[in-house]
Structure 1
Amino acid sequence: MVHSVTLCACLSLLTVLSCHSRVLPRLSFPKGSPGRSLNVFKNPDVYNTTTLLLSSDEGTLFIGARDAVLSIDVSQSDAMTMKEKLDWSPSEKDLADCAMKGKMKMDCHNFVRVLQVLNSTHMYACGTFAFSPRCIYINSKTLSMATGPSGKPEEGRSRCPYDPYQRNTAITVDGELYTGTVADYRGTRPVISRHLSEGSHVDVKLDDTLGWLEDPTFIRSTYVPSEEKVYFFFSETGREYDFIDKLTVSRIAQVCTSDVGGQRTLQKRWTTFAKAQLLCQAGQELPYNILQDIVTLSPPEGSSEDETLFYGIFTSQWQVNLGRSAVCAFSLKDIKKVFTGHYKVLNRDTLKWSTRVQEQIASPGECGLHNASDNTLRFVKDNFLADKSVQPVTQGLTLVSPDKSYSNIAAQRVRGARGRDYTLLYLLTESGFLHKAVLLKNGAHIIEEIQVFDQPQAVKNLLLSVSKGAVMIGSSEGVISVPMSNCSYYWSCAECVLARDPFCGWDPVMKLCTDIHTHDHLVQDVDGGNVSAQCTYVTPRSRSAQSRTLSGEVVSVSLNEVVHLQCPGASHLAKRHWERLNSQLSPKIYIQSDDGGLSFVATPSTLGPYLCQSEENGYTQTLGIYHVKQKSSPTVPPATRNRPHSTPSTEAGIKTSIFTTRLITPTPTEPRTEPDAEVDPTDSPEDSPAASTHSRSFTPSLGTEKQDSRKTELGETHPLTDKPSYFQELVVVSVLLALCISALLTIAFHRFGHFCHSRTVPQTPSSRRDAEKGGSATPQERESLRGHSSRLEKRNGQAPNGQSHAGQAHNGTSPIMPSNSMLNSSNGHLPNTPI
């Protein structure tokens, strides 16, 4: 049993990792990057701009902020300017009463949490108002308070939360307000209710009986006209799972807009309330059970409304999935199927759910039950939890983020160049990045990530303006407008196709990447991103609108110097590698870092050209070209190239006392990298690059220097001026030879003087015999002579570099001449170390 559980866990982990490999953003744009423009609205007197509402023409953005309601002009795509401001602040008495309740002063402001359109002329707003919620009517044209039916601000109880950090949802349908919030100061009485009812409609809410809602966190609500139903999305404690303490589950609940409550049973209470579980799970993995946000995507034109999709962000309370987020999609067709199925039964005495089979008196959730009998309404009152869970479409996860926690989501449908519709998701992370992802058959592809916040934001809101082509993000820092498309960033056909952005296509005539809606017959491949198939006859386009000639960065180095070559990144999905002409990059000599850089020691065999290339989706392009050459020096000239290259082991074994490190990067003319496109085969050879190069402006063409580097690679020699000189070494050898001769002459004179002295001293026959035997000297004289001899040997028997003459004689070399092994270890050159 343990082995099977372990195997399932491993398979689940492999599945998760395989999903993670597909969700890496292709491009990243830090905040302030010139490659991605943002429009920001900030006002020093405005805080917490989190509640957003667009006008019907999407030319005005209404913002519910702290103690104010604003109107912002967003008709221009590149600017946001404030039009009007409505102050709505609590009085000093309200603030004092809030402080007496033990609340912090910062939380006692009026945070606008509900902002909805009532009709063509008025809006309806509700705020926390110092923990005493209130609501007002607002004239949309003048942004001023309007008089309501009561003639004064209305109480916001059951319409707006008391606590500004309590989540809620609200939506207006035909002038009536449907809300999901809490109805008390402590936040322990959740309620789904309808307000501002007119005509035969009355305000209705949930029954006060326990079991309808279990400590919910309301997320969002939406209206489906064909069903005449309002759907509420929230998370709550799943009481049906009584074997797990406080298990959180995600829910969808429904009410009919025609519901007016029962005549005797459930008077002014919902008779059509029903709820079901949303199950975001893949295979046998633990489910992502906590709903963070959800958005409604309408079906394509001409399709049934059953094709409406709901994309939700889910996190998990399980330790194995902490820090991850999953996106699941649910269809309206599956939701309707669950609500028309069987229901669980709630025991009111024990508050336990069961699935026992019983006679079905009515269909819970069915509209029109307000005229039903009391027996039918009692059945509906105890049977409102659907037995089955709503499964995601394709029975799996739409997207999984391995290391990002998503908080908000928006979705839209975009028609590509070939008439096919693609779904785009905009996902806001807790850390302040916006991910733009396109959903494909083989998984999600994140086109780019854009940093929109400097610091993580506790409360955020996401809103799309399709007509303006912008994503509106509200936070405590202000409102940020992000353009949906960024086609002008891609300056080549290859990059335009590899981006796989449904908004963008390559124009082969204008030689630019442009918006798909402005031109016809554009080159695009969102599904496959196949560059070779789409860009065969497309010429590159640089910023100067001229084809770029082959050039590179000249890197002048000294021998034994550590060289670093930097490779610019094309995208996070590309694999970078280095190449040399007719040479392999041995790992014993070259070190390739994770950021794409290449490091090595400059030797005669490592000089020459280097190419940094990237491979993405089967397409290879050159990002940088470097020509490493030796510096010209009068004392230590460059080595000749016609000598044989040293072996890798010899180069790896070169030892130097000092290494100088250089970081070589191309000098950009623009603030971002711009990979070039492939070459038009119709271009002339002198104008077309031999390989796609990076769009940085390198050092001008190398000319003869580049030709010389190519000659040396083929074994040709340099001119006579490049031949090495051994003048310094010759002077050193001459000096050492003179010193040795002087030492030998000194020893010879000394020995000759001693011999003459011994001849003049009279000796006895016995002493002469002892001298002939070598034993005439006294012990003190022998000790003195031995010490003198050892000093001479120590003086004359040691070479200047620390090696003995005997060892050098053994090698057959002079003590002042380099050996053959030294020549081999330096490629035929004397060492450059001073003696």
Structure 2
Amino acid sequence: MRGREIPAGRKWKNSNSLKSNDAMTPRSGDQGKCLNTLLFTCSSSSPVSQTPRWLPWRSFLPVRRSWPPDSPSPPVAQVDRLTRFLSPDVGNTSMLLLSFDKDTLFVGARDAVISLDVSQPGAMEMKRKLDWIPSSKDLDDCSMKGKNMTDCPNFIRVLQFLNSTHLYTCGTFAFSPRCTYIDLQTFTSAHGPSGKPDEGRGRCPSDGELYAGTVADYQGNRPVISRYLSQGSRLDLKLDDTLGWLEDPTFISSAFIPAQKKVYFFFSEEGREYDFIEKFTVSRIAQVCTSDVGGQRTLQRRWTTFAKAQLLCQAEHELPYNVLQDIITLPPPEGATDDETLFYGIFTSQWSVNSGRSAVCAFRLGDIRAVFSGNYKVLNRDTLRWSTRLQEKVANPGECGLHNASDNTLRFVKENFLADDSVLPVGRGLALVSPDQRYSKVAAQRTRGANGRDYTVLFLLAESGFLHKAVLLAQGPHVIEEVQVFQQPQPVKNLLLSVSKGVAFVGTSEGVLRVPVANCSHYWSCAECVLARDPFCAWDPARQACADVSSIPVGAGQDVEGANVMETCEVITPKDKFGQHRPPTVPCPPGEQVPVSLNEVVTLRCPEVSKRASLHWERPSGQLSPDLYLQLADSSLHFLATPATLGHYLCVSEESGYRQTLAVYVVKERSGGGGATTQTAAPTRPAGQPTSKGAGLGAEPSSKTASPKPTAVWGVEAPTAPTTARNLTAVKRPQLTGGGTLAPLGKGGRSYLGELVAVSVMLALSLCVILAGALYGLWQRCRGRSTPQVCPRRDSEAGSSQEQDPLTRNSPRAAGTAKQNDLQHSKAPVVKNGSPRGSNGHLPNTPI
């Protein structure tokens, strides 16, 4: 590819700090793996963040809100929606770089570099495209090397500003990495003094020079950290690959600290100092001084200021998270020293007990400098074993200016480059940990809240396709929300945060996404705005809306630490026992009409505004009896439409000790009746509306010390009905709460005293009738016995007809008496225990 030539001798100045980039390596699953790659990139331009003071370990709290892709906004919302740039001609959009005026996004893709217009909110349009495609010969040579043809295109892996007029870019270029310059005015390529593209074996501009971490061969056996395009009297330098300074490293990122004139490298490698564990991976930070020019005799054209230390991301009583995935640099707050610079990194673990988890740790630059100023381990070249040096230090490894030291000093730093101590995280623990998400990219921003305090907000991109936003507080992290940026998981190449525009750009294999960092307009009431605990959002009392805190001149309602709604929103309007802030003359708030037919199954839905809130249903007329109502795990209410279940229903939410009504329904009988069907009602939006004081509908204060009420379904008092229509044998069904447990029956249900009295009276009357009948039968029997009796004939007079009954063994006289008694009792058979029996206790007509 031909291009204009840059004039020889021209000096390039880096006018801004630089963001971390990926390796100049095709990724697995996309393009394979390229070993001649650029793995180190330059310093970050991330915004400043304060230093949080965490306890030793904090668990990862649940996400409060979840926004699906392209979720609809409220009618009054003016938000920057999720915007995508997808083009069939542009793929593997991995490198992202925002222009100085923040209106253009430069994207490094496959075989091309493009520029996108991002000046308008919610829009991304391609302005220019520069193709950079390997020739047929380059592709054939790549295939001859045994590479897959899908790995042979030119994948852009470096895209940085060289100055205000040119971009510096490097690509894999069919496994022959090359670098070139792009004129921003004409958006064409321009070669250097040699008149052809530069060798691209790992280059990245920093302060006008190129500092790179890469490997020097296709087999990946010679890792190096080098400097190219050295200015003035400085020479190009690299590590001596025969000294074992690096052990199969995987470079992640880097940072340039101008005040210290040092470049820091972040990578993972095999920890050979742990010789009792095979293949133990450790995370490292290494440093070199930009003023280093190499030794005069010892370490000629080699680094004399190289030193490395271990980054330890570990919770108490747990195995360490030892594999570094991504790291970002946050400069110190305004007025603070460079020692307050923070590095936020994502770590995973090689141990199965922590499989699938990701942890975030923060490291302070002052702690890093202290470790590099301490003791160092020494490597025995004969046994290749590490030990702590006991003798006095000859020099301090990593100290700038050692290139002028004596040969004895340089031999000491040559053998002592691994710090004895590890760099511990801020607070000696994890900033946060996710038990079920694997994070791949991190971005951070320092923002000022309504109270004048600074808060650190992390943006974490998960492999599941969600972008999590978390604020780091003294009591632990609070995950504000998650935005689903991908329908299906896919490789994520870059995450770039624009503070001025309030958006995050996500580079993927398929395209570029633009995600707003805040969704303030989605919170419809002061209560919801405060409960979100989002440092970006506050309640504007003038506009009666939740908006960006920087746009509210005075009186912004926000409480990030405590989420105290009552004090923040100043709710002083009257309320009744149902928690409804409305005039007492109104019997019940208006709600959505739900016409139903009797004996119809009704389902009422409650909108989910927070995954950390408990939801339950109430009725103004009383409590909800578990005999009639069922609340499922999704908080929906199910019941059968009867005259007793018609009326108002309120879905009430409780979070952080604050109650508010989310939905109101009015279930009424449909005119004309109808058969038994199923009716489902769901609100089009939460029913709560801000009051004059900014409180949501149904707001009710709760004491700070009061314990939250259980998510049980409360009882209801049904309208009075005739007792004859009451089903006294109804079976009580257990009530399920949102958590799937049995809900207790609430107090204050309807009294059944009237029905009990009626049943008792009916039972007494029945007993009286039975007793009267028994007495009458006894009187009749006694009367029969008192009348004159005819003397019985003797047995001899009876003849053969008076023989004994063979079944009952009764005498003829007894049989005659029994016959007479049978006639007096209407000849009814005697029934005992439900079966007719003879006088001997056996069934009749059966032989003994």
Q: With structure 2 as the length reference, what TM-score do the two structures score?
A: 0.72
Distance 1:667 1:315, change over 3 A: same
Is it true that 1:664 corresponds to 2:663 in the alignment? Answer: no
**2:336 equivalent in structure 1:** 303
Distance 1:310 1:561, change over 3 A: same
**1:564 equivalent in structure 2:** 603
**1:262 equivalent in structure 2:** 295
- Give how far 1:63 is off: 1.2
Is it true that 1:223 corresponds to 2:268 in the alignment? Answer: no
Q: Is the 8 A contact 2:533 2:559 kept in 1?
A: yes
- Give how far 1:327 is off: 0.6
AA matched with 1:317: Q
Q: Is the 8 A contact 1:75 1:468 kept in 2?
A: no
How is 1:58-77 mapped onto 2 (pairs within 5 angstroms)? 58-77=102-121
How is 1:263-342 mapped onto 2 (pairs within 5 angstroms)? 263-342=296-375
- 1:103 and 1:214 mapped to 2: Cα distance? 25
- Give how far 1:428 is off: 0.4
**1:46 equivalent in structure 2:** 90
- Give how far 1:602 is off: 4.6
How is 1:156-167 mapped onto 2 (pairs within 5 angstroms)? 156-159=200-203
Residue identity over aligned pairs, in percent, reads 64
2:649 equivalent among 564, 587, 610: 610
- Give how far 1:771 is off: 12
Q: Helix, strand or coil: the match of 2:551?
A: coil
Larger mean CA deviation between 454-463 and 499-508 belongs to: 454-463
1:136 equivalent among 177, 180, 185: 180
Q: Is the 8 A contact 1:506 1:523 kept in 2?
A: yes
- Give how far 1:632 is off: 6.5
Distance 1:351 1:515, change over 3 A: same
- 1:561 and 1:120 mapped to 2: Cα distance? 71
- 1:606 and 1:17 mapped to 2: Cα distance? 53
AA matched with 2:227: R
- 1:554 and 1:519 mapped to 2: Cα distance? 37
Distance 1:554 1:49, change over 3 A: same
- Give how far 1:633 is off: 7.1
- Give how far 1:459 is off: 4.0
Is it true that 1:368 corresponds to 2:412 in the alignment? Answer: no
- Give how far 1:556 is off: 4.8
- Give how far 1:674 is off: 3.7
Is it true that 1:552 corresponds to 2:591 in the alignment? Answer: yes
- Give how far 1:77 is off: 2.4
Higher relative contact order (CA 8 A, sep 6+): 2
Q: Helix, strand or coil: the match of 2:233?
A: coil
Q: Is the 8 A contact 2:58 2:431 kept in 1?
A: no
Is it true that 1:23 corresponds to 2:35 in the alignment? Answer: no
Larger mean CA deviation between 234-243 and 673-682 belongs to: 673-682
Give the number of the structure whose residues are more often helix, by fraction.
1
- 1:723 and 1:438 mapped to 2: Cα distance? 56
Distance 1:468 1:635, change over 3 A: closer
Q: Helix, strand or coil: the match of 1:120?
A: coil
- 2:144 and 2:267 mapped to 1: Cα distance? 32
**1:597 equivalent in structure 2:** 636
- 1:635 and 1:93 mapped to 2: Cα distance? 79
**1:650 equivalent in structure 2:** none
- 2:371 and 2:406 mapped to 1: Cα distance? 24
**2:616 equivalent in structure 1:** 577
Aligned residues: 657
How is 1:356-505 mapped onto 2 (pairs within 5 angstroms)? 356-505=389-538
AA matched with 1:26: R
How is 1:58-97 mapped onto 2 (pairs within 5 angstroms)? 58-97=102-141
AA matched with 1:95: L
Q: Helix, strand or coil: the match of 1:344?
A: strand
- 2:100 and 2:537 mapped to 1: Cα distance? 27
- 1:260 and 1:632 mapped to 2: Cα distance? 92
Q: Helix, strand or coil: the match of 1:394?
A: helix
Question: Unmatched 5+ residue regions in structure 2?
Answer: 1-53, 74-78, 575-581, 701-715, 728-798, 806-830, 835-848
- 2:726 and 2:266 mapped to 1: Cα distance? 82
Distance 1:677 1:389, change over 3 A: farther
Which string of whole-angstrom CA distances, capped at 9 and with x for unpartnered residues, describes residues 327-352 of structure 1?
11111110111010000111112221
- Give how far 1:53 is off: 1.4
- 2:109 and 2:306 mapped to 1: Cα distance? 33
- 1:478 and 1:593 mapped to 2: Cα distance? 40
Q: Is the 8 A contact 2:471 2:478 kept in 1?
A: yes
- Give how far 1:230 is off: 0.4
AA matched with 2:486: F
- 1:585 and 1:79 mapped to 2: Cα distance? 50
- 2:64 and 2:634 mapped to 1: Cα distance? 15
Q: Is the 8 A contact 2:216 2:224 kept in 1?
A: yes
AA matched with 2:559: D
**2:379 equivalent in structure 1:** 346
- 2:241 and 2:717 mapped to 1: Cα distance? 88
Which string of whole-angstrom CA distances, capped at 9 and with x for unpartnered residues, describes residues 761-788 of structure 1?
xxxxxxxx99999x9xxxxxxxxxxxxx
Which string of whole-angstrom CA distances, capped at 9 and with x for unpartnered residues, describes residues 403-447 of structure 1?
111000011110111211111111100111111111111111111
Q: Helix, strand or coil: the match of 1:45?
A: coil
Larger mean CA deviation between 103-112 and 150-159 belongs to: 150-159
- 1:347 and 1:529 mapped to 2: Cα distance? 58
Which string of whole-angstrom CA distances, capped at 9 and with x for unpartnered residues, describes residues 132-184 of structure 1?
1111122122221112021111221243xxxxxxxxxx4x2221011112221
Q: Is the 8 A contact 1:539 1:678 kept in 2?
A: no
- Give how far 1:550 is off: 1.8
Is it true that 1:523 corresponds to 2:567 in the alignment? Answer: no
- Give how far 1:555 is off: 4.1
- Give how far 1:538 is off: 8.6
- Give how far 1:76 is off: 2.0
**1:644 equivalent in structure 2:** none
- 1:681 and 1:142 mapped to 2: Cα distance? 56
Is it true that 1:535 corresponds to 2:562 in the alignment? Answer: no
Q: Helix, strand or coil: the match of 2:267?
A: strand
2:99 equivalent among 43, 48, 55: 55
- 1:215 and 1:242 mapped to 2: Cα distance? 15
Q: Helix, strand or coil: the match of 2:418?
A: coil
- 2:280 and 2:572 mapped to 1: Cα distance? 57
Question: Unmatched 5+ residue regions in structure 1?
Answer: 1-14, 160-169, 541-545, 637-659, 693-711, 725-768, 776-803, 808-835
Q: Is the 8 A contact 1:38 1:483 kept in 2?
A: yes
Distance 1:689 1:620, change over 3 A: closer
Distance 1:357 1:408, change over 3 A: same
AA matched with 1:70: I
Q: Is the 8 A contact 2:614 2:655 kept in 1?
A: yes
- 2:243 and 2:573 mapped to 1: Cα distance? 70
Q: Helix, strand or coil: the match of 2:237?
A: coil
- 2:541 and 2:374 mapped to 1: Cα distance? 55
AA matched with 1:662: T
How is 1:98-113 mapped onto 2 (pairs within 5 angstroms)? 98-113=142-157
**1:33 equivalent in structure 2:** 71
Distance 1:251 1:492, change over 3 A: same
AA matched with 2:82: L
Q: Helix, strand or coil: the match of 1:338?
A: helix
- Give how far 1:42 is off: 1.9
**1:798 equivalent in structure 2:** none
- Give how far 1:471 is off: 0.7
- 1:158 and 1:129 mapped to 2: Cα distance? 13
AA matched with 1:108: C
AA matched with 1:151: G
Q: Helix, strand or coil: the match of 2:376?
A: coil
Q: Is the 8 A contact 1:494 1:676 kept in 2?
A: no
- 1:18 and 1:561 mapped to 2: Cα distance? 52
Q: Is the 8 A contact 1:231 1:253 kept in 2?
A: yes
Q: Is the 8 A contact 2:600 2:679 kept in 1?
A: no
